[in-house]
Amino acid sequence: MSAPLFLVGPGALPDGTTTVHLDGAEGRHAADVQRLAPGETVLLADGAGRVARCTVTTAHRGALDLAVEELRDEPEPARRLVLVQALAKGERDLLAVESATELDVDEVVPWQADRSIVRWRGERGEKSRRRWQRTAVAATKQSRRARVPHVAEPVGRADLVGRVRGAALTIVLHEEADAALTGVSLPEQGEVLLVVGPEGGVSPDELDALTGAGAQPVRLGRTVLRTSTAGAAALASLHTLGGWR
């Protein structure tokens, strides 16, 4: 089993770090829940690309003392994968965020689509966005990622169209598309947007607006996937096309 990963704050792993005292929520989970003991290996990540491989030297109540064995930096990818995920009822959108994080997405953009039953407004919307952020953090630790994917502010159609115009490539999953996802040519660098609609699908007006801004409609296969699984399936395909990093 691979070593567990815990997140520390930005700047907590500067060059030359040799020891770390892990406390707070992460320290309590490591020491009291996972009951890590001296001699065991732990990974620490600052969520921005720096990872430390450490050995537990002392276990306290609610904290660990760690000896840093190795520090490494994971560079920013030249090609950024961004999931534009439509808001969905239940926890389907949270499942989408979790799977996308495990599949190494770089950013998740909540999309208030025409056919989204859920509506993010005011404090409820901010609370929902924080749930997406917490889901991304938990999935980052589970998948041993060095970077926590950014969860952007929610967008409507106009803002999404503007982002499409600035992207290197935008792919819209649509069950009636003629082109297959496997036939897409990925750019070597820049932002690749993957747009996933809600349970009711992308509306005709949305599809017209997105394709008018340069997006490419594509299909995954013969079956129609849930909004919670479509993004994960497409991300796996994109990684295969572009080479898993």
The pLDDT score that the predictor gives to residue 1 is 67
Helix (H, G, I), strand (E, B) or coil at 233: helix
CB contact at 8 A, 228 and 88:
yes
CB contact at 8 A, 195 and 172:
yes
111 and 222 belong to one structural domain: yes
Helical residues (DSSP H) of 32-152, grouped into ranges: 92-102, 122-142
Which residues does 32 contact at the CB level (< 8 Å), separation at least 6?
A: 61, 62
CB contact at 8 A, 25 and 53:
no
Both structure tokens of 214: 């340069």
58 and 19 belong to one structural domain: yes
Among 58, 73, 88, the domain-final residue is 73
142 and 206 belong to one structural domain: yes
The pLDDT score that the predictor gives to residue 166 is 96
CA angle (149 as vertex; 147, 150 as ends), nearest 5:
125
Give me the residues of the chain with pLDDT under 70, please: 1
**Gap between the Cα atoms of 177 and 199, Å rounded:** 17
174 and 191 belong to one structural domain: yes
Instruction: Residue 127: give the domain boundaries.
Output: 79-242
Both structure tokens of 41: 């290996």
CATH number at residue 39: 2.40.240.20
The pLDDT score that the predictor gives to residue 90 is 82
115 and 221 belong to one structural domain: yes
In terms of DSSP bridges, do strands 63-73 and 79-86 run parallel, antiparallel, or are they unpaired?
A: unpaired
CATH number at residue 119: 3.40.1280.10
